Amino acid sequence: MRPLNLSLLAAVFAATSGSAYAQQLPATTIGEMAETPLVRVNIAESLRTPPDEASLTVGTQVKAPTAKAVVAASKTRTEKLLAAIRAAGIRDKDIQTQGLQLSQDYTYDRQPNGGAQQRLVGYIANNSVVIKTRDVGSLTSLLDGLTEAGADTVYGPNFSIADPAPLRREARVRAMARGIAEATEYARNNGFAKVRLLSVEEGVSYRGSDIVVTGGRIAAPMAPPPPPPAPERDGGGIVAPGQIETAVQLNLLYRMER
């Protein structure tokens, strides 16, 4: 038996496969692609607007000799805080309690040998509440009222926009207008008259400059971003919130046409 010529078989297979593939494509496909090139543009459009809502976390801490006593004291303190929150006009749906955290409270007694002995002296209860307000202009008064009502810690505020959808729509319209203008410019620079949109891919980003809180009675937020240059203060120790940026990113593919 004569051995098979693998090189010859591979060549025949490649030729027949190429012929079959060529028969499946229209004869003018390659020519059309050469005559009507594509242009892809990436457009980012953003709008900036003042925030219309803010969220913050307020907490209470109490100590007592027994677990039962500290839970009772924490409940009383938290109820007083919640009453102050509601009195400030915060709606119930914008108030969320995060739960009670109970831990042991120790002291360390110095020993004659220079060491220290741990001794349980009671319990510590921490309770926190997340609230949202749409009265951004009254944040200073709100914070003062909460601390007077017994809040030991305040994290935030964090500013946002309640409904960013209209801003996204406007940013999308502007991005599409810029996209067709830039693609048309590319087309005319290459001897074509216009472009036709083939596909759109969208990515949305939403961010803003967070507030920076100063003052010993208020805890700073975790890893705050750098404040904007020359911020204005409202007189209550809170940096002005600045503006929120809503951005839309579009990846647009056009075909150049004569």
User: What does the H/E/C string look like for the chain?
Assistant: CCCCCHHHHHHHHHHHHHHHHHHHCCCCHHHHHHHCCEEEEEEEEEEEECCCEEEEEEEEEEEECCHHHHHHHHHHHHHHHHHHHHHCCCCHHHEEEEEEEEEEEEEEEECCCCCEEEEEEEEEEEEEEEEEECCHHHHHHHHHHHHHCCCCEEEEEEEECCCCHHHHHHHHHHHHHHHHHHHHHHHHHCCCCEEEEEEEEEEEEEEECCCCECCCCCCCCCCCCCCCCCCCECCCCEECCCCEEEEEEEEEEEEEEC
For 54-73, the pLDDT digits (tens) are 999 999 999 999 999 999 99
- For the segment 16-61, what is each residue's pLDDT rounded down to a tens digit? 333 333 344 444 455 555 667 999 999 999 998 889 899 999 999 9
Does this model's pTM top 0.85?
no
Domains and CATH numbers, the chain: 36-50+164-257 (3.30.110.170), 54-160 (3.30.70.2970)
As a whole number of angstroms, the distance between CA 45 and CA 172 comes to 7
C-alpha distance from residue 114 to each of 6, 95, 120, 140 (Å): 89, 50, 20, 49
137 pLDDT band (50/70/90 cuts)? Answer: confident
Percentage of the residues of the chain whose pLDDT score is greater than 70? 72
Per-residue pLDDT, averaged over 180-208, amounts to: 86
